[in-house]
Amino acid sequence: MESREKIMTAALEVFAEKGKHGARMEEIAKSAGVNKAMLYYFFSSKENLFKEVLVKALHGVFNRIRRTLQQSGLTGLGPAESVKLVVEKHFEAFVQDVPGTKIVLEAFVHEPSEIKRALDQICTETTRDNPCQLEPQRMTEILKAGIVQKIFRPIDVSQLFVSILGMSLIYFSARPIAQLFLGLNAKDEKKFLEQRQASITDLLLHGILEKEATKHA
């Protein structure tokens, strides 16, 4: 692997664990197996390195969500099945890059302006086959459609979106402490993740489906 990449992945890990300010350039260098000066050779400053890592992480999630959704196509699915699929894919996209998601989450709190910039950048880079479908939109569209069709109860879709995000992202905040209290191994964790995902979609669907509607698949 190229040095630049090695640095990026090491930085991702260290920033995720220690936070932007808690991370030490020296530690990133050591963890990447390169000299500290290399970080400055490629990224010129800590600030810059962090921004690149953050942008890459954000890009990553959005791309994974988009790819995975368009390859498992929503066409033909009813609102309930669509929502289930979309929510699951979101969650999976987060899980596929745990440190990346953590960094994004932290940036939400401490670096909102960076997030905004990165989001704008992602929108700008948008090509014609991806007309800036900033994923939130897609999910709320589906929810609204379901409501119009009387399959979902009339709910506040914005708030619901926040709830879905919350249920999904809490895993990343609570992970270290859960690890400490429960000491999960890799297998336990995989099982926990499956339960988490199932629990989210279960609560969600039962929570939004009209009572007389057909049960979901």
- Among positions 125-154, residues that touch its own copies (CB under 8 A) are 153
Select from 45, 63, 72, 126 the one that contacts DNA (CB under 7 A).
45
- Among positions 14-53, residues that touch its own copies (CB under 8 A) are 17-22
- DSSP designation for 54: H
CB of 61 to DNA, least distance (A): 26
- DSSP designation for 131: -
Select from 61, 80, 83, 169 the one that contacts its own copies (CB under 8 A).
169
Number of H helices, E strands in the chain: 10, 0
The count of other CB atoms within 10 Å of the CB of residue 59 is 15
The count of other CB atoms within 10 Å of the CB of residue 114 is 18
**How would you label 16-40 residue by residue, b for 16+ Cβ within 10 Å and e otherwise?**
beeebeebebebbbebbebeeebbe
CB of 17 to DNA, least distance (A): 14
- Of 40 and 192, nearer to DNA (C-beta) is 40
Residues 4-43, one symbol each (x = binds DNA by CB under 7 A, - = not), give -------------------xxxx-------xxxxx-xx--
Instruction: Say how far apart CA 14 and CA 24 lie, in whole Å.
Output: 8
- If binding is defined by CB under 7 A, does position 1 make contact with DNA? no
- Of 53 and 169, nearer to its own copies (C-beta) is 169
- If binding is defined by CB under 7 A, does position 199 make contact with DNA? no
How far lies 170's CA from each of 109, 176, 196, 197, in Å?
14, 11, 10, 12
CB of 21 to its own copies, least distance (A): 4
SS3 73: coil
The two three-digit tokens of residue 209, written as one number: 């489906």
- Of 23 and 58, nearer to DNA (C-beta) is 23
Q: Which residues make up the interface to its own copies (CB under 8 A)?
A: 17-22, 102, 105-106, 108-110, 112-113, 115-116, 153, 155-156, 159-160, 162-163, 165-177, 179-181, 195-196, 198-200, 202-204, 206-208, 211
